[in-house]
Amino acid sequence: MFHAGDIIAYLDMCKFEGVSLQRGMNFHLHNGLSVVLMSLRKGAPYEDRVEDNWQTLIYEGHDIPKDKSGLNPKQTDQPLTTGNGKPTQNGLFYNAAIKYKAGAPAEKVRVYEKIKNGIWAYTGLFNLVDAWIEQNTRKVIKFKLKLIEEESTLISSKANSNIEHTRVIPTSIKLDVWKRDKGMCTLCGSKDNLHFDHIIPFSKGGSSITLNNIQLLCARHNIAKKDRIE
């Protein structure tokens, strides 16, 4: 099982989920959970965003695929159904959100964030709690997901009232750490089973938003360190 902050190669992510993840939205896979792939990087194809210190994810639905029809996916309504009336991935997630609002159990969704090509970070397990359609120059579908409490990285009671204190490491810091540490464990140089690690542990007041307090560690050194300050 992955833990929030784990760095995962694309093939390992697919192996864990038991399916080739060729699309960003994957409704109700064989394990009974859904999976979405998100990106907050500059130039990402969809406008995903996070709120409430990563407790809430606003995920954008996906466009029609490029085909020989000549339609521009970015100028065409995001579809809820296919041409023959079957629900698209957008439609499956949308229907699940509407059912939840009517009293059904929430669809559980594992979320992975793209760090760079072939490299992903596990974000956590979320409940799908809402969906709606925004109309501007076209119809775009939005989904709201809430981090499940047992996986939630709650705001520490030790937080300075003027500084957001959260265990979750922002995307910009992850990207800078990955570049600085050259995608390898800072202690042994391993490129396998990596994790974003707080040098001064979060439990001891260490910051998640300071580049100098985050490093890459392999699983062996991350487990060995635990909450010690090196």
What are the residue ranges spanned by the domains of the chain? 7-151, 171-225
Residue 229, judged by CB atoms within 10 A of its CB (0-12, 13-18, 19+), counts as exposed
Residue written as tokens 């995962």? 8
**Stretch among 119-133, 148-162, 170-184, 202-216 having the lowest mean pLDDT:** 148-162
Residue pair 167/206 in contact by the 8 Å Cβ criterion: no
Mean pLDDT, rounded, for 23-50 = 92
Average pLDDT over the chain reads 86
Task: Mention every residue, 6+ apart, whose C-beta is less than 8 A from residue 214.
Answer: 169, 173, 174, 177, 196, 197, 198, 199, 208
Mean pLDDT, rounded, for 60-72 = 87
> Looking at this protein, which amino acid is placed at residue 62?
H
pLDDT over 60 (residue 193)? yes
The pLDDT score that the predictor gives to residue 158 is 33
pTM for the predicted model, two decimal places = 0.78
Quote the CA–CA distance of 184 and 195 in Å, as a whole number: 10
Question: pLDDT category, 210, cuts 50, 70, 90?
Answer: confident
Count of C-beta atoms within a 10 Å radius of residue 158: 10
pLDDT over 50 (residue 177)? yes
CATH code: domain 171-225 is: 1.10.30.50
CATH code: domain 7-151 is: 2.30.280.10
